[in-house]
A = this chain, B = another copy of it.
Amino acid sequence: MTSRRSFLQTLSAPVWALPFVTPSNDEKYHEGKVLRVALIGLGSYASRVAEAMKDSKRAVVAGLVSGTPSKLVSWGAKYNVSASNCYNYETVDQIRNNSDIDAVYIITPNALHKDMAIRMAKAGKHVIVEKPMALNAKEAEEMVNACKKAGVQLLVGYRMHFEPKTLEIIRMRNAGEFGNVKFFQGLCGFRIGDPKQWRLNRALAGGGSMMDIGIYAVNGARYLIGEEPTWVTAQETKTDFVKFAEGVDETIQFQLGFPSGAVASCLSTYSMNNLDRFFLNGEKGFAELQPSTGYGPIKGRTNKGELQFPHITHQTIQMDEFAAILLDGKKPLVAVDGEEGLRDMRIIDALYTAVKSGKRVSLK
Known: A183-B269, A235-B360, A358-B360. 19 other contacts (CB 8 A): A182-B271, A191-B283, A233-B233, A233-B235, A233-B358, A235-B257, A237-B257, A238-B261, A251-B261, A251-B263, A253-B265, A263-B267, A265-B265, A272-B283, A273-B281, A273-B283, A273-B284, A273-B286, A358-B359
Report chain B residues within 8 Å CB of A235: 233, 255, 257, 263, 360
Q: Which residues of B contact A239 (CB under 8 A)?
A: 260-261
**Minimum CB–CB distance for A176 against chain B, Å:** 15
- Considering the complex, give the chain B residue whose CB is closest to the CB of A183: B272
Q: CB of A282 within 8 A of chain B?
A: yes
Contacts of A265 in B (CB 8 A): 253, 265, 267
Residues of chain A whose beta carbon lies under 8 Å from any beta carbon of chain B: 182-183, 185, 187, 191, 233, 235, 237-239, 251, 253, 255, 257, 260-261, 263, 265, 267, 269, 271-273, 275, 277, 279, 281-284, 286, 358-360
CB pair A272 B281 closer than 8 Å: yes
The secondary structure that dominates the A interface is strand
A273 contacts which of B187, B253, B282 (Cβ < 8 Å)? Answer: B282
Hey, which chain B residues are within 8 Å of A261, CB to CB?
Answer: 237-239, 251
For A257, list chain B residues within 8 Å (CB). Answer: 235, 237
Distance of A9 Cα from B261 Cα, bound (Å): 55
Residues of B close to A277: CB separation below 8 A? 279
9 smallest A-B Cβ distances: which pairs?
A239-B261, A182-B272, A253-B255, A237-B263, A253-B265, A233-B235, A235-B255, A358-B360, A358-B359
Determine the chain B residues whose CB is within 8 A of the CB of A273 once the complex forms. Answer: 182, 281-284, 286
